[in-house]
A = this chain, B = another copy of it.
Amino acid sequence: MALPTSVKLFEMAPRDGLQNEPGNSVPTATKIALVERLANAGITHIEAASFVSPKWVPQMGDAAEVMAGIKRQPGVVYSALTPNLKGLENALTVGVEEVAVFGAASEAFSQKNINCSIAESLTRFEPVLDRARDVGVRVRGYVSCVLGCPYEGEIAPHKVAEVAKALYEMGCYEVSLGDTIGVGTPLSAKRMIEAVQQQVPIEFLAAHFHDTYGMALANLYAVMEEGVSVIDTATAGLGGCPYAKGASGNVATEDVLYLLEGLGIETGIDLQAVIDTGYWITSELGRKPSAKVALAKGPSR
- Contacts from A to B (Cβ < 8 Å): 1, 182, 184-188, 211-215, 217-218, 220-222, 245-246, 248, 252, 255, 258-259, 261-264, 291-293, 295-298
Contact = CB atoms under 8 A, between A and B. Distances in A.
8 contacts: A211-B292, A212-B292, A213-B293, A214-B258, A215-B259, A246-B298, A248-B292, A248-B295
A4 to B, nearest CB: 13
B258 A215 contact: yes
A99 to B, nearest CB: 32
B185 A263 contact: yes
A186 to B, nearest CB: 5
A30 to B, nearest CB: 25
A212 B184 CA distance: 22
Nearest to A245: B298
Tally of this chain's copies: 2
A159 to B, nearest CB: 19
Contact of A221 (B218, B293, B296): B218
Contact of A184 (B215, B262, B291): B262
Contact of A291 (B187, B214, B298): B214
Contact of A296 (B182, B185, B188, B296): B182
B217 A214 contact: yes
Given A184-B262, A186-B262, A246 B214 contact: no
Contacts of A214: 217, 252, 255, 258, 291-293
A213 B258 contact: yes
